[in-house]
Chains A and B, each alone.
Chain A
Amino acid sequence: YVTVGSPWQKQLITYSINNFTPKLGKKLTHEAIDNAFKVWSSFVPLQFDKVDASQNPDIVTFFAEGFHNDNTNFDGVGGYLAHAFYPGSGIGGDTHFDGAEPWTLHQGPNKGNDLFLVAVHELGHALGLQHSPDVKAIMAPVYKYHDTKNFVLPQDDILGIQSLYGNFWFKLFDSTKPPRRPAATQPTISSIPEPSPPKLCELSNYDAISFLRKELYIFKGKYMWRRKRGKTSFSGPLMISSFWPQLKNGVDAVYENPTSNKIVFFKDHLFWEFRGTELLPQSPRHVRHIGMQNGKVDAAVWWQRNGKTYFFKGNCGYYWRYGVGRVEEDYPRSISVWNGAPANVDAAFSGVDGSHNFTYFVKGNKYWVFNNWEIKTVKTSLSFVDDWLKC
């Protein structure tokens, strides 16, 4: 991604939609542009309020043909589709669409130009992103169709916009509290302020924990913390979606299988397979594809000793052993086999300092140490906060 040096220096940004394309009508034109703003605000702490053009909004959007009072004339069908000015006063942020283009919405590929997709791209400029050389990115210069019904903002664009506003938030505001929302001039869709990101040392439990690429990750809600190799402290909170955009609603369990070079996340009844941060084909899939009838895996851990992966469901105290492609026949079994391990475990991990001699079970903010060779728990109910988080 490529950014401009000066993003908007505020969190509340106003915009107007001054006219509409008759090819879609007013309602669909507004729907396309409103939703394009929502794409960006779901990854950075910006609030977009639509106002009337007479209120001198930060971002003015309109449709025009040919010359339209700036130095880039539109050129009829094809060629220029639209353009936008980078953040700033006056014309800064303004976004113009070529009215001559065959505007469509949610009509699939090869049917004109989808206004929602072009609007996401142009508003990326209006927020400070330049064109990206990543051809998969929405900020690539040439129009390319992306699924608009289940639109997922490409990774490159997420990293780009968060490099502008993710730091902006922490730099400008106390990182322990979100910026106080200004009194909304009109009722916003959800006037409930974003909950402030949790503090790692104050968490009473964790959704998932695992070593990934030999770095320790802790997941809670939409956030994650990361302890790099050789470090004792964690960086974060980071949005999980900044690495894995498909997981913006959080995860229940995660494990890495270094031999297959896969990182697998579970959330409710689905699982996603990644190579690093690249989503592998067929993901997400229902857990029944791996033989688990109902969903919600609470913890998962891969064993180097036998190459198997173990899935734990907390509330029922069962576990499954997963081999190649599906869980093994005579499972689930009771977790009592892992004698001494807690029943409704929240998370499990192994691979500490690269060794897989022990499995660590975490429940609440306590942890248990299980010896993978003696097949028994050797330490019980220790303080995870003291021993791992160094709070």
Chain B
Amino acid sequence: NHVKSRTKRDSAEIGFAESYLVNYGYVPPDSLQSGRANAELHSWSKALAEMQKFHGLPQTGEFDDATIEIMKKPRCANPDKVSVKTNLKRKKR
């Protein structure tokens, strides 16, 4: 499914969606390294389903229209997932 949904979409949208999953804590940042990407297709699909669940969308695990649409909506920059607190590294103002 994941490969199919990726081929349907242009690479810019895929790139945007994958950055979204990383930015908001659904996928660890190092998953973006191309060498590993294929090995982790399953984790992308799983991460996508997790993001869809968090946002009240059908958990297809695919880059479908509803998912891309909600990814484009203005939102808070804080991550959704507790584990990856990208904006909490700093302590000093």
Contacts and interface: CB of A to CB of B under 8 A. Distances in A.
Interface of A: 2, 4, 60, 69-72, 74, 78-86, 88-92, 94, 101, 113, 118, 121-122, 125, 130-131, 133, 135, 140-143
Given A83-B78, A131-B80, A91 B91 contact: yes
18 contacts: A4-B82, A71-B87, A72-B77, A80-B76, A81-B75, A82-B76, A83-B76, A85-B88, A86-B85, A90-B90, A91-B92, A125-B76, A125-B78, A131-B78, A141-B55, A142-B70, A142-B73, A142-B75
Contact of A141 (B80, B82, B88): B80
A83 B25 CA distance: 14
A70 B82 contact: no
A143 B74 CA distance: 6
Contacts of B75: 79-81, 141-143
B87 A72 contact: yes
B73 to A, nearest CB: 5
Interface in B34-68: 53-56
B31 interface: no
A86 B86 CA distance: 12
A131 B56 CA distance: 13
B73 A90 contact: no
A70 B77 CA distance: 12
A143 B91 contact: no
A164 to B, nearest CB: 15
B89 interface: yes
Contacts of B91: 88-92
Interface residues of B, number: 25
Contact of A91 (B53, B70, B80, B90): B90
B74 A70 contact: no
Contact of B76 (A60, A81, A88, A89): A81
B90 A113 contact: no
A84 B79 CA distance: 10
Nearest to A84: B78
B93 interface: yes
Contacts of B77: 72, 74, 80-83
Contacts of A140: 55
A107 to B, nearest CB: 15
Given A80-B77, A133-B54, A2 B87 contact: no
B56 A71 contact: no
A385 to B, nearest CB: 46
A141 B74 CA distance: 9
A70 B76 contact: no
Nearest to B80: A131
Contacts of A86: 85, 88
B87 A83 contact: yes
A71 B85 CA distance: 11
B60 to A, nearest CB: 17
- Per CB-CB distance, the 10 closest pairs between chain A and chain B, nearest first, are A83-B77, A80-B77, A135-B56, A142-B75, A72-B87, A90-B91, A131-B80, A133-B54, A143-B74, A142-B73
Contacts of B85: 86
A265 to B, nearest CB: 29
